[in-house]
């Protein structure tokens, strides 16, 4: 690809490398060392930091800002107003919604999708095929495994680690240092404090008004069990035990449906 001079809106002249059929909107600012692959589109008022490298068929919306040393894979799409800090790396086919803000040294794998106004702290790392809903906030050094799915308005503290295929419902809150192993599922509104660890084969329905945490646990000897507080039952027994408690029955019903879906 040829290296060509480009004059920025402020009159400064920089040398950039451009692929075929690159389209630049008005007010675009580039820095020295920028490399834009084939069929890249930058909308109006995009700003790229030093040594930014964009793959083929990348599309950046209006008012997008990329820090220094940012790397975007092929077919990445960034919505209007997205902001990426220094050293961010995005894989192929990543899609970021409007207003997304990624801190420094964030890494996103291939096929990651982030909703509107998502915020990721410095050094966050997401695996492949991860999906985050709108208004999600992840703290510093958060790590999400492949296939993780987070609903809307989720908040994760610093140093949270989620395994592969973890699913968090809308409004979930996880404190600092929480660790969830592969295939853990938390229902809408679940809150876990700092340094909580949930192992493989756990599905959480959150706490009831009395503070009992309802969860399904997959045991080797009895299959799925439903527990709350100090009590643990087979799914059918749990329904009978809490037959006169509508709030508990709702949580048992949720867990039984998730058990059915997970086999």
Closest CA to 88 of 114, 111, 66: 66
- Tell me if 140 sits within 8 A of 123, measured CB to CB: yes
**DSSP secondary structure string, 192-232?**
E-TT-EE-TTEEEEEE-TTS-EEEEEEETTTEEEEEETTEE
Cβ neighbors of 238 (< 8 A, separation 6 or more) are 226, 252, 255
Q: What is the pTM of this model?
A: 0.81
Residue 57 to residues 53, 78, 87, 134, Cα–Cα distance (Å): 12, 12, 21, 25
Q: What tens digit of pLDDT does each residue of 37-52 get? A: 999 999 999 999 999 9
Mean pLDDT value of segment 49-77:
97
Mean pLDDT value of segment 164-169:
93
Q: What is the pLDDT of residue 208?
A: 87
Q: What is the pLDDT of residue 220?
A: 67
Q: What tens digit of pLDDT does each residue of 68-114 get? A: 999 999 999 999 999 999 999 999 999 999 999 999 999 999 999 99
Q: Is the pLDDT of residue 258 over 90?
A: no
First to last CA, the chain: 52
Can you tell me the distance from the alpha carbon of 96 to that of 250, in angstroms, rounded to the nearest whole number?
35
Residue 193 to residues 38, 73, 137, 245, Cα–Cα distance (Å): 47, 36, 16, 26
Whole-number average pLDDT of the chain: 93
Q: Does domain 3-204 have CATH number 2.30.30.40?
A: no
Q: Is the pLDDT of residue 221 over 80?
A: no
- Tell me if 236 sits within 8 A of 242, measured CB to CB: no
Lowest-confidence region among 20-29, 59-68, 72-81, 198-207 = 198-207
Residue 248 to residues 167, 215, 226, Cα–Cα distance (Å): 22, 11, 11
Confidence of residue 212 (pLDDT cuts 50, 70, 90): confident
Q: Helix (H) and strand (E) counts for the chain?
A: 2, 35
Cβ neighbors of 108 (< 8 A, separation 6 or more) are 89, 90, 91, 94, 102, 114, 126, 130
**DSSP 3-state assignment of 83?**
strand
Domain spans of the chain, in order of start: 3-204, 205-263
Q: What is the pLDDT of residue 263?
A: 64
Cβ neighbors of 230 (< 8 A, separation 6 or more) are none
Q: What is the pLDDT of residue 111?
A: 97
Q: What is the pLDDT of residue 29?
A: 97
- Tell me if 84 sits within 8 A of 67, measured CB to CB: yes
Q: Hunting for tokens 């909703």 — which residue is that?
A: 115
Q: Is the pLDDT of residue 30 over 90?
A: yes
Q: What is the pLDDT of residue 45?
A: 97
């Amino acid at each position: 690809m040829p290296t060509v001079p480009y004059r920025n809106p402020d009159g400064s002249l920089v040398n950039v490398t451009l692929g075929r059929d690159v389209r630049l909107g008005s007010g675009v600012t580039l820095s020295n060392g920028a490399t834009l692959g084939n069929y890249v589109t930058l909308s109006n008022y995009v700003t790229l930091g030093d040594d930014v490298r964009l793959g083929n068929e990348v599309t950046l919306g209006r008012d997008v800002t990329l820090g220094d040393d940012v790397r975007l894979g092929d077919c990445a799409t960034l919505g209007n107003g997205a902001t990426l800090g220094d050293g961010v790396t995005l894989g192929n086919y990543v899609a970021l919604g409007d207003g997304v803000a990624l801190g420094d040294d964030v890494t996103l794998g291939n096929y990651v999708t982030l909703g509107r106004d998502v915020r990721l702290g410095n050094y966050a790392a997401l695996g492949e095929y991860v999906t985050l809903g709108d208004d999600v906030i992840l703290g510093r050094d958060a790590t999400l495994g492949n296939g993780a799915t987070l609903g809307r308005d989720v908040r994760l503290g610093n140093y949270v680690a989620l395994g592969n295929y973890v699913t968090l419902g809308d409004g979930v809150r996880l404190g600092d240092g929480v660790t969830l192993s592969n295939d853990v599922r938390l229902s809408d509104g679940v809150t876990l404090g700092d340094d909580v660890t949930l192992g493989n084969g756990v599905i959480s329905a959150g706490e009831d008004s009395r503070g009992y945490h309802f969860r399904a646990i997959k045991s080797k000897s009895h299959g799925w069990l439903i527990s709350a507080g100090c009590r643990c039952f087979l799914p059918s027994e749990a329904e009978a035990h809490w037959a006169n408690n509508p709030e508990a029955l709702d949580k048992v019903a949720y867990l039984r449906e998730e058990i059915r879906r997970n086999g």
